[in-house]
Structure 1
Amino acid sequence: MKNNNNSSNTKLILLHPYIQKQGSSNRLWLLVFISFFTLAFLVTLIYTRESTTTTNATVAISATVSGLGNTQLPTTVINTLLHYSSKSNDSLHMSYSELKPISDVLRKCSSPCNFLVFGLTHETLLWKSLNHKGRTVFIEENRYYAAYFEELHPEIDVFDAQYATKRSEFKEIITSVKEQVRNECRPVQNLLFSECKLGLNDLPNHVYEVDWDVILVDGPHGDWPEAPSRMSSIFTAGVLARSKKGGNGKTHVFLHDFGGEVEKLCGKEFLCKENLVEASETLGHYVLERMDENSFQYCKNQTLSTASSSSS
């Protein structure tokens, strides 16, 4: 009976193949999981390599510039700054061929160099860095953006300006200004007290007192009919250059978007063709000389310029 009972209590244990398959499946999923993240890591590494290189270079350059104190920027630093600025993904950035002439003039500028820029752009921090030992001031039409940018970059001097012009009226405004050339719109004056429609007279007092060595007109933005365009900034740049009281008697004025209709006409009328030393489709480089306060003619061939513009 005991044998029968023992026999009846004997249990048969079978190992189902599923158990082995389940272990293999787990290893397979683990392999897939590791492969997926390895692939994702490689893709991310390849995609971000250029961005990381640019970021690291920018940080290294900024640290180098900050550590230079009052010494002149080395040529390698300047060239690196120009390279990475011209390679930006921003569609509105300047090309290397546009940046280089401005950089060359800033390098040759007597120290400290006074640099006035109309417009906050992709190159704002670049201009501040290139004029390492000098004074760099920016004029921006959007007061909210000016305040935001200055809060973001406290080392940048930004002032907002109110433009009372419309691009759709630029021909009428220029005609009116030329009629007032012996009064409110004369080429040599203190714009702080001017009532000329194209003169910016709401900037801080010291902006009018500085003898600017280099002026870049790269703002305001916009070429739609209601936009202020660059009439006032071009006119103001011309008056500031001619009205210098001291320092170097010459002022370099750069006009960006040189091929625009407003830029072409205002450049011809207020910066003058005889002062144009270099030009491309997008950048004009003028050199203006200080003028006598009794001068009432922007260009030597002002009469010819007026006749040709009116006939066109």
Structure 2
Amino acid sequence: MRGAKPQNSINLKIILICCFFLFLLFLIFRSRLSDSQQSSSVNPSIHPVNSSDSHEEPKQTDCPTPPNLTPTCTKISPSLAHALVHYATLNITPQQTLKEISVSLKVLENKSPCNFLVFGLGRDSLMWTALNHGGRTVFLEEDKSWIEQIQRQIPSLESYHVVYDTKVTQADELHEIGMQEECKVVSDPRFSKCRLALRGLPNEVYDIDWDLIMVDAPTGYFDGAPGRMSAIYTAGLMARNRENGETDVFVHDVDRVVEDKFSKSFLCEGYLREQQGRIRHFTIPSHRTRVDRRSNLRKWLRWWSGQEFSQL
């Protein structure tokens, strides 16, 4: 009996050791199984392969999408790419400062793509077009040779030649004219009786309701220059004559007498939203609804007075 006891003890030890190793193998297997399941859930590009499509080549995706995130691999617009290269290689700084440009940028961030009319074709024109990507940006320029030069460099810009028949020396006289009744009438500039209205622009310029208008031209820094009297007045008239809504109008170089005086008078100080450096921002609502209301009221009064007269 005593001789069999050591044998039983050895067998028991062997059984316990085997059970331990089996338990250890079970833990290792379970751990690896859970790791493989987690890696499959994290990486959506790993999928089980069915026997039916085992011969198909795996599909490649250009932009793997992380879980719960939208794809972010998109190209920048051609206009922005062109602008980046253009200004990275340009040694000339645009006339507006960073703070001044930021005033218009804030509005463009909310309104673009939109209709943007710019008086003046300059080194910053490609920037305005890029910031209004998907919208329509049109430039009006007084210098025909400058238009040709810019078009050779940047043929994608849409620009038109404008002839001005005013001089800076006429500013005071034109301001008095602008205060007359015919210049207060809200109408299409083509049909306005006001001498300040620009009537020689392309028809499509008049036909579009412009969301933004930038007055940064024509030349106005010497007495013989055309000055911006007509440009400022016409910008205000276009804004008031649109079908509905409002137009953001920006005037640059308001440190000069003409730009300061005419912007306050014909864009209305009550519509002034911000001034930063040499630029002013006005928000001008449509006056067409007011004009139509007054017109309808006059028609009704004429009809009513006629009815009353016939009954007498």
The bucket for the TM-score relative to the shorter chain is 0.5 to 0.7
- 2:240–2:284 CA contact under 8 A, matched in 1: yes
Taking the aligned partners of 1:218 and 1:113, their CA distance within structure 2 comes to 19
Which residue is equivalent to 1:277? 273
Q: Deviations over 1:28-72 (max 9, x none)?
A: xxxxxxxxxxxxxxxxxxxxxxxxxxxxxxxxxxx94318xxxxx
- 2:273–2:281 CA contact under 8 A, matched in 1: yes
What SS does the aligned partner of 1:219 have?
coil
Per the TM alignment, residue 187 of structure 1 is displaced from its structure 2 partner at its CA by: 4.5
- 1:250–1:290 CA contact under 8 A, matched in 2: yes
Which residue is equivalent to 2:303? none
- 2:169–2:224 CA contact under 8 A, matched in 1: yes
User: Residues 167, 92 of structure 1: CA spacing in aligned structure 2 closer, same or farther, 3 A cutoff?
Assistant: farther
- 2:94–2:124 CA contact under 8 A, matched in 1: no
Paired residue for 2:110, among 102, 108, 111?
A: 108
Which residue is equivalent to 1:127? 128
Taking the aligned partners of 2:280 and 2:132, their CA distance within structure 1 comes to 20
- 1:242–1:291 CA contact under 8 A, matched in 2: yes
Deviates more, 1:87-96 or 1:252-261: 87-96
Q: Deviations over 1:65-122 (max 9, x none)?
A: 318xxxxx7xxx9xx96xx68x97536522110111111111100x540000000122
Per the TM alignment, residue 198 of structure 1 is displaced from its structure 2 partner at its CA by: 1.4
Which residue is equivalent to 2:165? 164
Taking the aligned partners of 2:255 and 2:161, their CA distance within structure 1 comes to 26
Structure 1 residue runs of 5 or longer lacking an equivalent are: 1-62, 68-72, 296-312
TM-score by length of 1: 0.63
Which residue is equivalent to 1:96? 98
Per the TM alignment, residue 279 of structure 1 is displaced from its structure 2 partner at its CA by: 0.7
Taking the aligned partners of 1:107 and 1:206, their CA distance within structure 2 comes to 25
Per the TM alignment, residue 147 of structure 1 is displaced from its structure 2 partner at its CA by: 3.1
Taking the aligned partners of 1:256 and 1:187, their CA distance within structure 2 comes to 25
Query: Is 1:287 matched up with 2:288?
Result: no
What SS does the aligned partner of 1:286 have?
strand
TM-score by length of 2: 0.63
Which residue is equivalent to 2:228? 230
- 2:220–2:226 CA contact under 8 A, matched in 1: yes
- 2:120–2:216 CA contact under 8 A, matched in 1: yes
Taking the aligned partners of 1:151 and 1:157, their CA distance within structure 2 comes to 12
What SS does the aligned partner of 1:121 have?
coil
Taking the aligned partners of 1:294 and 1:164, their CA distance within structure 2 comes to 32
Taking the aligned partners of 2:127 and 2:208, their CA distance within structure 1 comes to 22
Aligned-residue CA RMSD in angstroms?
2.4
What are the residue-to-residue correspondences of 1:7-26 with 2, within 5 Å? none
Which residue is equivalent to 2:177? 176
What SS does the aligned partner of 1:93 have?
coil
- 2:213–2:247 CA contact under 8 A, matched in 1: yes
Which residue is equivalent to 2:208? 210
Taking the aligned partners of 2:150 and 2:234, their CA distance within structure 1 comes to 23
- 1:137–1:158 CA contact under 8 A, matched in 2: yes
Which residue is equivalent to 1:252? 248
Percent of aligned pairs sharing the same letter = 37
- 1:112–1:134 CA contact under 8 A, matched in 2: yes
Q: Deviations over 1:158-182 (max 9, x none)?
A: 0111111110110111101212x3x
What SS does the aligned partner of 1:165 have?
coil
Taking the aligned partners of 1:259 and 1:243, their CA distance within structure 2 comes to 28
